[in-house]
Structure 1
Amino acid sequence: MNFPFFIARRYLFSKKSTHAINIISAISVVGVAVATMALVIVLSVFNGFHDLVASLFTSFDPQLTVVPVTGKTVPNDDPILTQIKALPQIDIASETIEDQALAVYNNKQAMVTVKGVEDNFSDLTHIKEILYGDGEYELHAANLQYGVIGIRLAQDLGTGAKWNGYLKIYAPQREGQLDMSNLDGGFVVDSLISPGVVFSVKQSKYDAGYILTSIEFARNLFGQQGMLSALELRLKPGSDLDAVKMKIQQLAGDKYRVMDRFEQQEDTFKIMSIEKFIAYIFLSFILIVACFNIVGSLSMLIIDKKEDVVTLRNLGATDKQITRVFLFEGRMISAIGAIIGVLLGLLLCLIQQEFGIVALGDSEGSFIVNAYPVSVHYVDVLVIFLTVILIGWLAVWYPVRYLSKRLLN
């Protein structure tokens, strides 16, 4: 057995001549354990919100979308897009046109994003699962053009789930100059009627600013006949998403960018990742402060064991081995604290997942979920454990070497 480790283990669990040393050692373990537990819980809550947001976007966003790198639109008969549609792994391919416009209803107005989609959009996404109202999902019938709007946009415009009359949509003319004396002449104006339903993605970006309609309506409104702004794809069951994405990107070259659901919401998830990293950094600083307790415990232990050190030297132990005894002592304190903290953190996360003890608000239904969402990612747990061990070991290395030279010589 490693001699310094054996002695350090005996020192850690044996009763000291000064009872305060045992108390400080216990406080050191508790401090490291609490900081570790906080890291596990906080990062798991961030993961929970990340997974929650991802699940909400799933109902509206396609598995993959192909968008032009330059410009807003491209011809829909581009040979590259035709090749992509013909891939055997593609189950559904749907063209879309998307741009900004002004929606007006009963003297209320709002800037909106009009998204024109093909009839197979409901097969491409889960849009029908997030509809509310007495009507049915419908984009056009004969010469009638319908608009399915977000639930918050319906509130802002005062339309409700079903509006009477027409919802007017204004889009700037693509050609010519705007005549300030005749502002109406600078816009293309068209109207939508209500199918009697609204959608709720539970994300402000969509619920407060999107209108779904037919691609023919959008092309006429924006003057984009024969064009598309994105090709949205759904893969056949069992397809390898990453492999298919790579294959499509090879076909697309530098002309198109292929994005999965996370890349489609890149800004949202990037902000969440930054927040999670900042939380990790701040809690790591708290962990560093907690590790100073270990230094205090070791300094008192070194003083308490001065006579033992003399005995060890007489038995042939070198100064390097004696120093390693106290290094192992500090490392074991940090390791025990890390293990206890990880286990407690996982236990509390499991309790929150099962029972939702910590609620988001006082009244049920005020938020998308009633309790803080928690998702344990075991890669994060491993990173936390290694972080605690690294900080604990570095925190005791220099102080132990310095104290050993000053107090044991």
Structure 2
Amino acid sequence: MPYSGHDIFIKPEPDRLILSPFEWTIAKRYMLPGRGEAFIAMVAGISLVAVMLGVAALVIVMSVMNGFRAELMDKIVGLNGHAIVQGYGGRIANWQDVLEDVENTPGVTRASPLIEQPLLATYEGRVEAVLVRGNTQKDIDRLKPKVISGNLTALTPGSQRVAVGSQLAQSLGATVGDTLTVINPAGRTTPFGTVPRQIGYQIGAIFEIGIYQYDDAFVVMPMSDAQTLLLTGDQIGMIEVTTTNPDTVDETMAPIRGKLQGRAVVSTWKTINASLFEALAVERVAMFVVLSIIVLVAVFNILSSLIMLVRAKTRDIAIMRTMGATRKSILKIFVTAGFLIGALGTMAGLGLGFFALFFRQSVVNFFQAVTGQNLWDPSIRFLTELPARTDPSEVVVIIIMALVLSFLATLYPAFKAASTDPVQVLRYE
């Protein structure tokens, strides 16, 4: 048949990975199917939304899990230090020498003596179990950012003033200026038996650490007042240690553990809260695996929409082949169309995830108001607010996982389209 100037041929493109203008134009056209292909467009849209929701769920949950662990660790370590040196029987004699040894240990940034003892407190007939904590003046001053009522400057040795946690003050119905009575069952021995020691302390300040168990139990006072209450003389209960790196605290405390063997026990935050942080680590991995299934389901939607698109465009594919389009061009067209759905869904999911994280507490408060349920009970969740801390490396892993799964989902329909035989398709056209 003679050549006509109106005949159109597709010039074969050189072998390359980058899309040619022809391939990109067809790929964009197939991403937005026509009116007669509304069902395919709907499935593609569902695929995009599914990828978006899966990625958003992963970003939100992993950020909340990381935030929960980080906040919990910061608050626990911020109050208790990275390690505790505790004497046998709860008492350390000659503690000044021990304190000096600890302070001179490489990697130790701070060491503070303290006393901690579970007792009872009563106010106007209400009785609560409390944890009396005797601190140095410097350690008491560290609580200033946490004070929500009153003033810590009133807590001086011999002032008979204390600071209490916000939840404890609420449970007792007490406020700043009220006097609560602390009861020490191990009182003085009299001819009539042991009489519990009861001392009244005026509440000078109310603080909120952010961990329910601490805010519901702690009564902080100067260390000399705690020694008087507990009848310990000049002895203390433990030494709180802070190191340069909490992750290497075991290596930092190893020399101290050797020196004090037989005299005191050295415990780190890892051993004290081991079960809690191990449970968080297991839950974090489990949540990642479970939520990844959402993304996997979404890419199956991409697979199904592309298969339907290939079946609907079989005649078009055959025509393009007869006009000079290579198998590789057809392959790249359908891979691009499917991959872009996954990529757009991933980017939208990141945006939705970060948006939800920014307004996370407002969202929790909204659902609490709607349902009438306390969805974030601090007595169960440890923390008073929903935390979040996004790890950039985890976000990168989520993005790569979503994109790789989206790419893999396009391969089968793309190869199917590339293997179309134009002779068989156009035989009866």
Q: TM-score normalised to the size of structure 1?
A: 0.70
Structure 1 position 154 matched with structure 2 position 173: no
Q: 1:130 aligns with which of 134, 139, 147?
A: 147
Kept in 1, the 8 Å contact 2:119–2:130? The answer is: yes
Change (3 A) 1:134 1:334: closer
Task: Give 1:199's aligned residue.
Answer: 207
Mapping for residues 194-273 of structure 1, pairs under 5 Å: 194-219=202-227, 227-233=235-241, 240-241=244-245, 245=249, 248-253=252-257, 256-259=266-269
The alpha carbon displacement at 1:27 in A equals: 3.5
Q: Secondary structure at the match of 1:298?
A: helix
Task: Give 1:31's aligned residue.
Answer: 50
Rounded Cα–Cα distance in structure 2 between residues aligned with 1:103 and 1:271: 33
Q: Secondary structure at the match of 1:162?
A: coil
The alpha carbon displacement at 1:296 in A equals: 1.4
Kept in 2, the 8 Å contact 1:154–1:160? The answer is: yes
Q: How many residues align?
A: 383
Rounded Cα–Cα distance in structure 1 between residues aligned with 2:154 and 2:76: 19
Kept in 2, the 8 Å contact 1:200–1:207? The answer is: yes
Rounded Cα–Cα distance in structure 2 between residues aligned with 1:246 and 1:313: 71
Task: Give 2:129's aligned residue.
Answer: 111
Rounded Cα–Cα distance in structure 1 between residues aligned with 2:226 and 2:384: 38
Task: Give 2:100's aligned residue.
Answer: 82
Kept in 1, the 8 Å contact 2:143–2:207? The answer is: no
Change (3 A) 1:73 1:14: farther
Rounded Cα–Cα distance in structure 2 between residues aligned with 1:12 and 1:272: 44
The alpha carbon displacement at 1:112 in A equals: 1.6
Structure 1 position 381 matched with structure 2 position 390: no
Kept in 2, the 8 Å contact 1:248–1:258? The answer is: no
The alpha carbon displacement at 1:130 in A equals: 0.9
Task: Give 2:406's aligned residue.
Answer: 392
Kept in 1, the 8 Å contact 2:199–2:229? The answer is: no
Q: Give the share of equivalent positions with the same residue, in percent.
A: 21
Q: 2:295 aligns with which of 287, 292, 295?
A: 287
The alpha carbon displacement at 1:118 in A equals: 2.5
Structure 1 position 163 matched with structure 2 position 178: yes
- 1:156 aligned partner, one-letter code: S
- 1:14 aligned partner, one-letter code: R
Structure 1 position 189 matched with structure 2 position 193: no
Q: Secondary structure at the match of 2:199?
A: strand
Task: Give 1:301's aligned residue.
Answer: 309
Task: Give 2:84's aligned residue.
Answer: 66
Change (3 A) 1:152 1:265: same
Task: Give 1:337's aligned residue.
Answer: 345
- 1:293 aligned partner, one-letter code: N
Kept in 2, the 8 Å contact 1:47–1:374? The answer is: yes
Q: Secondary structure at the match of 1:194?
A: strand
Q: Which has more radius of gyration?
A: 2
Moved more, 386-395 or 199-208: 386-395
Task: Give 1:179's aligned residue.
Answer: none
Q: Secondary structure at the match of 1:14?
A: helix
In structure 2, list runs of 5 or more residues that go unmatched: 1-14, 259-264, 425-429
Kept in 1, the 8 Å contact 2:343–2:403? The answer is: yes
Change (3 A) 1:128 1:34: closer
Q: Secondary structure at the match of 2:164?
A: strand
Rounded Cα–Cα distance in structure 2 between residues aligned with 1:88 and 1:253: 13
CA RMSD of aligned residues (A): 4.9
Kept in 1, the 8 Å contact 2:99–2:111? The answer is: no
Rounded Cα–Cα distance in structure 1 between residues aligned with 2:80 and 2:201: 26
Rounded Cα–Cα distance in structure 2 between residues aligned with 1:370 and 1:242: 24
- 2:163 aligned partner, one-letter code: V
The alpha carbon displacement at 1:288 in A equals: 2.4
Rounded Cα–Cα distance in structure 2 between residues aligned with 1:104 and 1:375: 39
Kept in 2, the 8 Å contact 1:28–1:290? The answer is: yes
